[in-house]
Chains A and B, each alone.
Chain A
Amino acid sequence: MKDDTVFQKLVIIGYGKITGEIITYAIEKQKEYGYQLEVIEHEVHSFSITEKLCMEHGIPFARIEDKKELTACLDSFSERTLIVSASNNFLFPKKLVEKENLTIINFHNALLPAYPGRNAPSWVIFTGEKETGITWHYVTAGVDEGNIIIQKRCEIGADTKAYELAERLMTLAYEAFVECFDAVLKEQADAREQGFDAGRRMYRSYEVPADGFFEMAEEPEYIYRLLRSLDYGKNGIFPPAQTVVDGKRAEILRYRKVVGSENREADSFLFLPLGADNLLKIKYRLL
């Protein structure tokens, strides 16, 4: 016997770890609810396993990078469809959001209404927040403005880097998804309005904390915070941070908090005191 859902189709859009987990969970739940399941990858990622997972389970998979093509694809659905935007930067156009047969939910990696837009883990680290979290919300025509379905919180450690926080938030997002999925399918989710100010700041994709630049005279704690906020490993979300060394522009190759308090000298390395017992070791390259 099938549980009661109005949705005939479930479409998951995303890539990476959280998308894989949500697909696996949606496959389990498919037996209960009987929806058709499809997966769309909008952004290609070198380590994504989404396609392989779909192939293994015989789930229709499409990679659609072009925004117009993706819009046309979603617009073509005529049945009642729930779209789960898992790890996805595609902004759903108004004409899709307003279609009566489509319901769209999205995972945002901050506690809305705070930090809407892009790269929230970076901004919360840069601004020195001690806590952040995730939000699943219904998608409306405004970016990250829809009603909140569920939120979960986590602390931001003193050494947390952007990619570490992003990973933690994805784990939280999956836990929250499992908690709210049945209610969403049954249209019984207790969603609440965000209640934000009209002038709230939206973080755009082209914005970089401190424009990715610091002066050597700035507090090491600030520099460390900035470097951590820009750190997504080699994913190239932000360009390398820059500073000026001996009057010449330099880009930061890597950094690390190390134990010690004495200033050390080494080619292409900077050592800045970080608290009483540590140094911020920075490797740079002159441009």
Chain B
Amino acid sequence: MEEKVLEILEEHCEEALDYDGDSMMEDGVIDSFTVINVVSDLEDEFDIEIDAKYVIAENFRNKEAIIELVRKLLEE
């Protein structure tokens, strides 16, 4: 699963893979439009629904947070 998430991130925002901070949005690594694309691909890849309540800066602060979000949704 992690590998797939990273592949999706790489496709839309390669910089996110090397980012080691905790606020990709504030640090200008990712923007809201990129988030839409990432969410869309994650939903398709894992056949999950990512509710709008999860699409917040906190869950997209770095790649680990995104992986954690997907893991949580897959377990639901």
Contact = CB atoms under 8 A, between A and B. Distances in A.
Interface of A: 16-17, 45-47, 49, 52, 163-164, 166-167, 232-236, 253-254, 256
A47 B52 CA distance: 13
A33 to B, nearest CB: 26
6 residue pairs, one from A and one from B, having the closest CB atoms: A233-B36, A234-B52, A47-B32, A234-B55, A167-B33, A46-B56
A17 B40 CA distance: 20
27 contacts: A16-B32, A17-B32, A17-B33, A46-B55, A46-B56, A46-B57, A47-B35, A47-B57, A49-B28, A52-B26, A163-B33, A164-B33, A167-B33, A233-B39, A233-B40, A234-B36, A234-B50, A234-B51, A234-B52, A234-B55, A235-B32, A235-B36, A235-B52, A236-B52, A253-B43, A254-B43, A256-B44
A164 B40 CA distance: 13
Main secondary structure of the interface of A (DSSP, over half): mixed
Contact of A233 (B25, B55, B56): B55
A255 B36 CA distance: 14
B57 A254 contact: no
Contacts of B56: 46
Nearest to A268: B47
Contacts of A236: 52
B7 interface: no
Contacts of A253: 43, 49
Contact of B26 (A17, A49, A167, A233): A49
A52 B52 CA distance: 23
Interface in B16-72: 25-26, 28, 31-33, 35-36, 39-40, 43-44, 49-52, 55-57
B53 to A, nearest CB: 9
Nearest to A52: B26
Contacts of B50: 234
A211 to B, nearest CB: 21
Contacts of B44: 254, 256
B42 to A, nearest CB: 11
A46 B44 CA distance: 23
B69 to A, nearest CB: 13
A233 B49 contact: no
A45 B52 contact: no
A49 B25 contact: yes
Contacts of A234: 36, 39, 50-52, 55
Nearest to A168: B33
Given A49-B25, A234-B36, 12 more contacts: A16-B32, A17-B33, A46-B55, A46-B57, A47-B31, A232-B36, A233-B35, A233-B40, A234-B52, A235-B36, A236-B52, A253-B43
Nearest to B43: A254
Contacts of B26: 49, 52
